Amino acid sequence: MSRTCLLLQCVFLESCNLPTSATRSLLSNSFTCPQAFFIFGDSLTDTGNIQILAPGVNSTTLNYPYGESYTFTNERGHNRYSDGRLIVDFIAQAFGFPFFEPILLQSDKGFQTDYTHGVNFAYSGATVIPNNTKNPIYLQYELDKFFDYKKALLSSPQPSTPLSFLPTAAYLIPEMGINDFYYAYSNGVSPETAIDEILPKSLKLVVSAVEQLHASGARIIIVGNQQPQGCSPSVLTPLRGIRTGRYDTIGCSDEHNRVNRVFNRKLKRALTKLQESYKIDGTLIIQFDFYNAFMEVFTNPAKYGFNPSNRFEVCCGFGGPYNYNGKVMCGNNGTVPLSKGRTQFVNISTALNPKEHIEWDGVHFTEATYKVIASFFLSGKFFISPLGFNFKHLCNLDFSQF
């Protein structure tokens, strides 16, 4: 069915919830659905790059029960920071594309790459600001790898990604900058200081990334803002017993969430300004509101199939008020401290009922959570700009594999 017919059918039936002028304007301007996605980011979008780059490194090795909820055929084992699929995996399935494989897979012997509909340049732990003490991978590094790939693609007689897809590809930069704040907090930096010293640098580099992609020919650029980091067990656990009165009504650290809100507000302003300057060449900057999408799930867990009593409880973890202990993470074993100087050896090799949990390992989310957020993204919910943008209706997407 053509997109125009789909629109007419929805208007007649009054059942598709199409908004208005934004969607109709995109159709009338011959919006072309993406035929490829180029993915950037960190562990929320990494489909295996860090596992190939640093195999066997303790901080990056993912053991069972990572990957327990979904079997990726023709792929290596546990290479995603979740019990199953990530948001980008649901995007691929909805569009009918193969899963977006990591760029490093092309140099990893024994595995056949499939870049026909895009490539993943995301690395777990990646920052926006270069930070070699914590992780050598940062946003500009990922961009440079993309530019190298594109250059090689254009000079190849038999490109793995059809060249015709480049002009209509979508470029996705989700929630980058979260790790900059996380590393700062782990070094004792306060949220107030993070706003003054880290936020401006991180924001400038994210905006620069959008500018560079546009200069390289990108015309559909999707940027997600930052999720509420103050709802993460990795942030909440160290605060227990230290600070009081700085939590919101559902138990998130509001002073940490404020950092994300300030970042998001400034990001929206900067990207809206860029969109205005780019509209002459038809560039579309899509802004997705990760913050309020996740807050919707945290605020109304039962509505999306999660156990309300498990709102912040880690599915794959051990100990503490949130079943999280940063000393021993999901899939690993070791000795964790208990009260009064006691210790206990634990082996975190099981995770029960991940579909009931929002949180997976204290830093990342369950497949069930990513499914909800992906459904929001693909169905036109929580878009900041353009208002009413809806991939599902514009591109006639199929959610049956969800």
Specify whether the backbone of 323 is left (phi greater than 0), alpha (psi in -120 to 50) or beta: left
pLDDT of residue 278 exceeding 50, the answer is: yes
Look at residue 27 and tell me if it is in a domain. no
Nearest-5° Cα angle at 265, 259 to 267:
100
Tell me the HSE value of 294 on the side-chain side, using a 13 A CA sphere: 27
Closest C-alpha to 270, from 182, 194, 205, 218: 205
Q: Report the pLDDT value the prediction gives residue 75, as an integer from 0 to 100.
A: 66
Assessment of whether the complete model's pTM goes beyond 0.75: yes
pLDDT for the residue numbered 74? 63
Q: Cα separation of 186 and 268, whole Å?
A: 27
Whether residue 2 is contained in a domain is answered as no
User: What are the pLDDT digits (tens) for 290-322?
Assistant: 999 999 999 999 999 999 999 999 999 998 889
Is residue 202 assigned to a domain? yes
Could you tell me if residue 279 is inside a domain?
yes
Give 140-175 pLDDT, tens digit per residue.
999 999 999 999 888 877 767 777 788 789 999 999
Domain assignment present for residue 391? The answer is no
* 86: CATH: 3.40.50.1110
Question: What is the tens place of the pLDDT at every residue in 347-399?
Answer: 999 999 999 999 999 999 999 999 999 999 999 999 999 988 999 999 999 99
Residue 218 lies in a domain: yes
Residue 402 belongs to some domain of the structure? no
On the CB side of 154, CA atoms within 13 Å amount to 10
Residue closest to 315 by CA, chosen among 360, 369, 366:
360
Percent of the chain at pLDDT above 70? 87
**Roughly how many angstroms between the first and final C-alpha of the chain, as a whole number?**
22
Q: Label residue 72 by pLDDT band (50, 70, 90).
A: confident
Q: Measuring CA to CA, which residue among 343, 351, 386 is closest to residue 367?
A: 351
Residue range of the domain that includes 194:
33-386
What residue ranges in 42-169 does DSSP mark as E strands? Answer: 118-120
Task: Please state the domain count of the chain.
Answer: 1
Asked whether residue 110 carries a pLDDT value surpassing 50, the answer given is yes
Q: Would residue 165 count as lying in a domain?
A: yes
